[in-house]
Structure 1
């Protein structure tokens, strides 16, 4: 009872250690399970979800899958239960012929966490194979001279099972002349030998029939048999002898098929049949026999098919030399296969992104790679790198796993798509390499404000335009994509002549087209300066200083204003010489530029040839000296034209009076005033003007008595010729009046010229003329 308790305690401690070891391995990313061979498909292997502490509802969301190493899928993951189950029936003897411990490895990929777990499943043996001999009918030739106690090797049986289920013992039955001895080889294998227990007598028995049994340790045990026929020969007292007990050869794995690897040699001192040696392979597996070939006569060992270092790096053969008398010798042959760099690295994408935002932080994982090279040593050492100058780098994750992460911030406006080439090269000479391409598209983020194509815009628009006329189109571009690059335009607030700017112009939000909302007048508005703002369609929308652009709209003048005549003073003394200044026609044009350039022409005159008009100055001068026969009053029609297209014009009618004396001048002026008076105007008005004129002349006579006072008065009169509130200019804006200084200068020079051309008797005329200027201006038509 106590012994049973102690055994149960040891079992509990062993189970506890196994559980602790499994928990430790699961914590470090590796799970270990054990399952017997030949289990049906779908058999339970292990509870992965429980061992990794994963909840069952999370399995589908995390994207878990099993990757088996090799071409055959031996295991699968049940997504409902989280159990690891078998995907195929597993034969341990087929997978692990020469391996004591048979283990299959697979990998669990958790895509949501970019995590890898290794799973190792040990395939335990069951007694499903019977020990068997390569030949079930054996023949031994033994000389009758063979001394008792001599040993003859027998073929050993082969059992693919392992452990207790493999070959355990041999038995011999059938004849008292022979017994069985089992020797233990260097590797612990059992080698049966036939022992001659009693001397043979060919005359007594030429043949002996024996049965050799091989048994394994299964429960129940399995047994295989071979029949041995012993032929008794005449004496042969020399056995073959190999030149060396062990042969070793090193060959590269790329050796051509049919090449001779080595030649074994054995000699026999006998002659004839007893000295003829034949070679054979003993204790060789089916796999080895398919690779190498031994010539029974020459002892040449050649390669039968292509070697592969990755399948096997060394082979051991046992060569037996037997003479014609049945004597033999054995030698061991070791063939070492050296690795050749014949496998390029293999790159596989375990998990990868296809899209990434351009504002992803540095270090973002975009792909998980696995790199493997089946060669060994330096030929299997792999170095990974990325081609080109890309904003990514490689980080080693776990054993042969690498992660591709961002090395710096991305900019979709510079590069919108990447084809990242991952290159793997081994350490062979020459090195073999392979590559894989990761296609990655960069998603846009609204990180660029609109930018106008020009720093400033300007346009010219003729005045009197139609309402809604297109002025110009501003254009801004946004380096972003999609909605983030959709640009909208709006007009900044402002005022023009007290009115909102939006009542003058508007901008189309989608196209940036700028329209004039009203007809513009150059004489009122010469230019419009405004600001247009551009915003993108991001959330939030972006705009910056470069999103505002200045637009200057220049109003171009049109010839829509005819010249206006201000006043022409029509006075001339009869004694004037040719070229004397009579009057100056002063006109203004509200337009600008060429449309305001004026020219003067004499269209009609009472006395042709007596007067002429300056083309650009508008000065009316005498073309010749007046004659006595010339009439006292002359009517001149002066046409004023601008240079617009078409040209606009205005006419001015001048009444020029030629007088010899003041009385004659007053009479002519009075007559002209009466003729120019409107119908029904009271005669009292004309009389009042005449009385005022006479009073003015009387005052001038008194003034001339005081010479000094007269000089001061004349100076004062010159300064008061055109006062600011003169009725002749009332209603004309100062900004539109052109040439007023010229008019004042003309009046002063005209008065001065007349004064210099008159004698002392007629020196009163300039004062009279100055006094009558308001009258002439008021009556001018």
Structure 2
């Protein structure tokens, strides 16, 4: 009951901070909220109507709605209260697997006023995942001639939670011959190592059973365990050595599946089985293991599935070369993905009129458009234009928004309908294009007097 109360108290503080921050930034046309992950559908996110100063009874009349980027709409607007609420249960680890700060963006469209407000919602982590090892049963083979103080790399646990809720420490139990050392990597990650504390004697004990425990910093804490069986065997005095400490490769995102991207090479001066090197990936539970395959015998790294620059543009692998005597060397492989122009600009009609009076003044807004291209650099730079000689202009609004406005007063008697084609073209080579057609009907006003066919009639 106490731990549940503390968790609820933390959630209340997170929501209160999100409300205060939103009230301060509302004047700038952008709202920021925060909400814990895994909240049920319909949970309160923020009072956008109050923060933006919108009158509650007028919300339906103004056509106020929420639009989220992407296919899934995670937020919606409660029509009666004007509150922004969750439309789906949100799993932070599923949405933001590779980023530390998880922010979902949506837009509040006020159609009656042709206004757009940006809303950022930070998804706060809760301790809903335990540290896990890729393999629950591990085996280490160590020579009985190994000197005390020698270290052996152990598998790392993975915890998709972030911050204090993620993996914090390791513990080792089971045998006086071994102890645990934890090294801190360049990125702050913890790397457990098995340390030989006392000399081994195969005749005294051929096997040693150990338990490696990974612990997170949540409240309450969560743990994951792996059992380690150490087999004692004969001497091996030469470890494999990689030809490079770090391999770097740059590939375009359209490289064919099955291509060999790079081959790592390690040599061992020993003979026989002690000199037989096998390669393995040591970064467990990482997305890269689903994209790349390492040949255990040749060291060739091949592509398992198509790359997408927009999904990920950099991958780092840690490769280990281990001989049969369990001596090893490690090297890093850095793979950079280069962008190509493979995404067509997307034109979204946020709001549009279907009819307009012929006496509407010049500059009347008939449509609000949003243009987006998922490519980067010049490939993602979009230019918009209108096709044909039409009495309309395209004006750049805020960010990636454009407005279609009348260039002059219309005349229904000359033309009663228009099909306005908006075309978007990116800056790639060759350029990719897309278009949207806006249909607009001109309404008549009484602006013409009756006219006789003759000025004078005689009979």
TM-score w.r.t. the length of structure 2 is: 0.95
SS in 1 for 2:403: strand
Partner of 1:354: 354
Structure-2 change in CA distance of 1:277 and 1:15 (3 Å):
closer
Partner of 1:367: 367
8 Å Cα contact 2:171/2:212 also seen in 1: yes
Residues 538-570 of structure 1: per-residue CA shift (max 9 Å, x gap): xxxxxxxxxx611233xxxxxxxxxxxxxxxxx
CA RMSD of superposed structures (Å): 1.6
1:447 aligned onto 2:447: yes
8 Å Cα contact 1:349/1:369 also seen in 2: yes
Unpaired segments ≥5 residues, structure 1: 1-13, 453-475, 477-547, 554-781
SS in 2 for 1:22: helix
The Cα shift of 1:165 comes to 0.7
Residues 636-693 of structure 1: per-residue CA shift (max 9 Å, x gap): xxxxxxxxxxxxxxxxxxxxxxxxxxxxxxxxxxxxxxxxxxxxxxxxxxxxxxxxxx
8 Å Cα contact 1:284/1:318 also seen in 2: no
Partner of 2:5: none
Q: Structure 1 or 2: larger helix share?
A: 1
Partner of 1:91: 91
1:294 aligned onto 2:309: no
SS in 2 for 1:61: coil
The Cα shift of 1:398 comes to 1.2
Partner of 2:393: 393
8 Å Cα contact 1:66/1:75 also seen in 2: yes
TM-score w.r.t. the length of structure 1 is: 0.56
Using the TM superposition, name which of 365-374 and 24-33 deviates more. Answer: 24-33
Unpaired segments ≥5 residues, structure 2: 1-13
8 Å Cα contact 1:114/1:368 also seen in 2: yes
The Cα shift of 1:22 comes to 2.9
CA distance in 2 between partners of 1:236 and 1:20 (Å): 64
Structure-2 change in CA distance of 1:96 and 1:221 (3 Å):
same
8 Å Cα contact 2:422/2:435 also seen in 1: yes
RCO higher in 1 or 2 (8 Å CA, sep ≥ 6)? 2
The Cα shift of 1:284 comes to 3.7
8 Å Cα contact 1:368/1:404 also seen in 2: yes
SS in 2 for 1:356: strand
CA distance in 2 between partners of 1:250 and 1:15 (Å): 43
Partner of 1:144: 144
The Cα shift of 1:103 comes to 1.0
8 Å Cα contact 1:268/1:275 also seen in 2: yes
The Cα shift of 1:446 comes to 2.5
Residues 336-370 of structure 1: per-residue CA shift (max 9 Å, x gap): 11111100000011110011111111100000001
The Cα shift of 1:449 comes to 3.5
Partner of 2:189: 189
Partner of 2:207: 207
The Cα shift of 1:20 comes to 6.7
CA distance in 2 between partners of 1:336 and 1:225 (Å): 34
Q: Which protein is bigger by CA-based radius of gyration? A: 1
1:323 aligned onto 2:229: no
Partner of 2:407: 407
Q: How does 1:42-53 map to 2 (within 5 A)?
A: 42-53=42-53
8 Å Cα contact 2:366/2:405 also seen in 1: yes
Partner of 1:36: 36
Partner of 2:103: 103
Partner of 1:379: 379
1:551 aligned onto 2:439: no
SS in 1 for 2:455: strand
Structure-2 change in CA distance of 1:272 and 1:253 (3 Å):
same
SS in 2 for 1:445: coil
Partner of 2:114: 114
1:245 aligned onto 2:245: yes
Partner of 1:653: none
Q: Which runs of 4+ in 1 moved over 6 A?
A: 14-20
CA distance in 2 between partners of 1:176 and 1:158 (Å): 27
The Cα shift of 1:235 comes to 0.6
CA distance in 2 between partners of 1:322 and 1:220 (Å): 38
8 Å Cα contact 2:133/2:157 also seen in 1: yes
Residues 394-420 of structure 1: per-residue CA shift (max 9 Å, x gap): 111111111100111212122111000
Number of residues paired by the alignment? 446
1:313 aligned onto 2:219: no
